[in-house]
A and B are shown apart, each in its own frame.
Chain A
Amino acid sequence: MIGGRVIRRRAERAVAYVVLVALGVFGVAPFVYMVILSFKRRIDILVRVPPSLSFQWKTIASSYREVLYSQGMLEFVRNSIFVVGVSTLLALIIGTPAAYAFSRLPFRGKKNLGNTILSMRFMPPIAVAIPLFLMIKEIGLRDTYLGLILPYTAFSLPLIVWIMIGFFDEVPREIDDAAQVDGCTYFGLLWRVMLPIVRPGMVTAALFGAIFVWNEFLVALYVIDSRGLQTISLGAATLVSAEHPIDWNISAVVGVVTVVPMLLFSLLVQRYIVRGLTAGAVK
């Protein structure tokens, strides 16, 4: 009897490990496949199925050079890093004090105001993209970095406020009281006491604001005209849209180039990802 149960346990465990490995393999396969395609010539992809695992450096170099330099992807990456970096920073600077007020200070209409800000996170991009474009055009910022930074800050702001409220709420109120007894003002308290405590939260908030904006291309589609100012998602969108027939090796290179910066960045800040996703869900 007992022996039978042990065997059953072991068998179950073995099956579980097989499932685990299968999940891992299926999880990475699409990425590996994309990388392999990006290393091939256009003709190889069509002729050899599945693609062989022998690679020629010359082919790889020429496709990547084409995408990075001739198509301007490298410039797009730089543009994106600049635009996303500045707008995320702006949103953090504006959003963190607001989140602090939501978490700590009582004021009238707080609940409704909080819900309104949160609901902006759910806005369909198309509902604001056209007016934003017309506004940007009006103030003469069409086809400039600032013309993207201003709307993007507004896009990540609700998300950042919302995540930061969660992190401020986690800080015990005793800390406020102690600081206040020491004669700290609200601003001193926020700056000297709270910010150092919620710094990991700020990284998480920044990360999610940044991902959100990194992927945006609708507003960019309207605002940016010059190729030299395109962001990476806009560049990728124009290069690989399902609307046109495409070179599969080139589109795979575009995919790799678009994904790699994000993956590297998220590896660096991996431990913040789960915290950001679960902010508000699991308390």
Chain B
Amino acid sequence: MITGSLAARRSFVIGKLDHRGVAVLLLLGPCLLYLIAFAIYPLIYSLRLSLTDLRAADAAGHWIGLRNYGDLLRDQFFWNATKNSAIMVVSSVTVEVVVGVALAMFFNLHLRGSAIVRGILVLPMLITPIVVGVMWRSLLNPDWGLVNWAIVELGFEQPNWLGSVEMAMKTLILVDAWQWTPFVFVIVYARLQTLPHDVIEAAEIDGASRWGVFRHIILPLLMPAIAFAAVFRAVDAFRSFDLIFGLTYGGPARSTTTLAFFAFQNGFHFQNYGYAAAVAYMMLLILMIGTTVLLRYVQLRPGHAE
């Protein structure tokens, strides 16, 4: 509100061209026009597609109303993908938050040389997810992969990481956690550096146990950062399909086909544009409901998250 009155005074003092409205229009206009053309319009286009039976081979699809959506609700593969998405998002975010917070606390000891290790741990985030997939397919290869070799050397039975229906989803979650735990770690660690030291020290002097200090003082203070990281990760895990593309291609037996991958398969492999668009819209619906619920608890806008 203060800005409002200030800006009003400015526009009065300064010349005509700089009138506030004109300024807003000129500064914001190009960005909005661009997003309308290349983000909003495609999104509406997608909605229209979802009401047709357009396939790559046809010149034009036919209007079929809500049939795609009806088919979708009867498609067992859709429900399978929905279930897989739910499992993947919830488990990978849980793992990432727990390990990420633990890492942040560990690095908060500020051991000598920890800056280098921190730099190393951030690397997975920067790697193309497809390459992450291939990298782990090598590491987990049942015949010659390094991980299985080590497991056998240590005298354990080697898990069929990617080949079995029971394991593949767990492996996908682990690999996703390997790539994205650093994201949670970096955010929580940065937040940790801004916490007031005196409160924590006072509690320690009062004889609180270290777990008690963490549980009752540090953790509540970290909560906004953790929530922020968790929401980001949840949405990204939900919508991304490229790690699956590189790691499992949705298999075996569709056990790692999430909604995002299901949509990709329909839209690219089967070239079934209308159906893929319907899946995409179901995803948007889930995202909208999910983020509306989540955003009640988390403030995401920069500059206002005090």
Query: B137 in the interface, Cβ–Cβ < 8 Å?
Result: yes
Contacting pair A277 B34 (CB below 8 A): no
Contacting pair A274 B186 (CB below 8 A): yes
Query: B15 in the interface, Cβ–Cβ < 8 Å?
Result: yes
On chain B, the residues within 8 Å of A130 by CB distance are 46, 49, 267, 273, 276-277
Give the complex CA separation of A242 and B244 in angstroms.
8
On chain A, the residues within 8 Å of B194 by CB distance are 282
Give the complex CA separation of A161 and B35 in angstroms.
11
On chain A, the residues within 8 Å of B225 by CB distance are 281-282
Contacting pair B31 A241 (CB below 8 A): no
Contacting pair A123 B39 (CB below 8 A): yes
Query: B158 in the interface, Cβ–Cβ < 8 Å?
Result: no
Give the complex CA separation of A183 and B14 in angstroms.
7
Query: A20 in the interface, Cβ–Cβ < 8 Å?
Result: yes
Query: A255 in the interface, Cβ–Cβ < 8 Å?
Result: yes
On chain B, the residues within 8 Å of A27 by CB distance are 117, 120-121, 123
Contacting pair B45 A126 (CB below 8 A): no
Q: How far is the CB of B207 from chain A (nearest CB, A)?
A: 14
Query: B3 in the interface, Cβ–Cβ < 8 Å?
Result: yes
Give the complex CA separation of A161 and B268 in angstroms.
31
Give the complex CA separation of A6 and B128 in angstroms.
46
Give the complex CA separation of A161 and B31 in angstroms.
9
On chain A, the residues within 8 Å of B113 by CB distance are 20
Contacting pair A97 B28 (CB below 8 A): yes
Chain A residue with minimal CB distance to B266? A126
Contacting pair B267 A282 (CB below 8 A): no
Q: Mark A147-183, 1 if CB is under 8 A from B, else 0.
A: 0001101100110011101100100010001001001
Contacting pair A154 B130 (CB below 8 A): no
Contacting pair B34 A180 (CB below 8 A): no
Selected contact of B301 from candidates A114, A214, A222, CB within 8 Å:
A114
Q: How many residues of A contact B (CB 8 A)?
A: 108
On chain B, the residues within 8 Å of A20 by CB distance are 106, 111, 113-114, 117
With A186-B27, A217-B242, A242-B245 known as contacts, the answer to whether A277 contacts B267 (CB < 8 A) is no
Q: How far is the CB of B5 from chain A (nearest CB, A)?
A: 9
On chain B, the residues within 8 Å of A190 by CB distance are 27
Contacting pair B42 A128 (CB below 8 A): yes
Q: Which residues of A in the span 27-61 have a Cβ within 8 Å of any Cβ on B?
A: 27-31, 33-34, 37, 45-46, 49-50
Q: Which residues of B in the span 217-270 have a Cβ within 8 Å of any Cβ on A?
A: 224-225, 228-229, 235-236, 238-242, 244-249, 260, 263-264, 267-268
Contacting pair A46 B106 (CB below 8 A): no
Contacting pair A122 B291 (CB below 8 A): yes
Q: Which residues of B in the span 263-292 have a Cβ within 8 Å of any Cβ on A?
A: 263-264, 267-268, 273, 276-277, 279-281, 283-284, 287, 291
Please choose the segment from B18-26, B72-80, B90-98 that sits at the chain A interface, where 4 or more of its residues have CB less than 8 A away: B18-26
Query: A195 in the interface, Cβ–Cβ < 8 Å?
Result: no
Give the complex CA separation of A232 and B120 in angstroms.
23
Give the complex CA separation of A163 and B287 in angstroms.
22
Give the complex CA separation of A233 and B235 in angstroms.
22
Query: A202 in the interface, Cβ–Cβ < 8 Å?
Result: no
Q: How far is the CB of A113 from chain B (nearest CB, A)?
A: 8
On chain B, the residues within 8 Å of A242 by CB distance are 133-134, 137, 244-249
Chain B residue with minimal CB distance to A256? B131
Most chain A CB neighbours (cut-off 10 Å) among B41, B130, B187, B301: B130
Chain A residue with minimal CB distance to B106? A19
Query: B208 in the interface, Cβ–Cβ < 8 Å?
Result: no
Selected contact of A131 from candidates B15, B45, B138, B141, CB within 8 Å:
B45
Where the two chains meet, the residues of B that have a C-beta atom closer than 8 Å to any C-beta of A are 3-4, 6-7, 10, 13-15, 17-18, 20-21, 23-24, 26-28, 30-32, 34-35, 37-39, 41-43, 45-46, 49, 103, 106, 109, 111, 113-114, 116-117, 119-123, 126-131, 133-139, 141, 143-144, 146, 149, 178, 183, 186-187, 190-191, 194, 224-225, 228-229, 235-236, 238-242, 244-249, 260, 263-264, 267-268, 273, 276-277, 279-281, 283-284, 287, 291, 300-303, 305-306
6 contacts between A and B (CB under 8 A): A233-B128, A237-B245, A240-B131, A274-B190, A277-B190, A280-B302
Sorted nearest first, the 9 A-B pairs with minimum C-beta distance are A154-B38, A280-B302, A98-B31, A169-B303, A131-B45, A166-B302, A127-B280, A131-B42, A101-B27
Where the two chains meet, the residues of A that have a C-beta atom closer than 8 Å to any C-beta of B are 13, 16-17, 19-20, 23-24, 27-31, 33-34, 37, 45-46, 49-50, 94-95, 97-98, 100-107, 111, 113-115, 117-120, 122-132, 134-135, 150-151, 153-154, 157-158, 161-163, 165-166, 169, 173, 177, 180, 183, 185-187, 190, 211, 214-215, 217-218, 221-222, 232-233, 236-237, 240-243, 246, 248, 251-252, 254-255, 258-259, 262-263, 266, 270, 273-274, 277-283
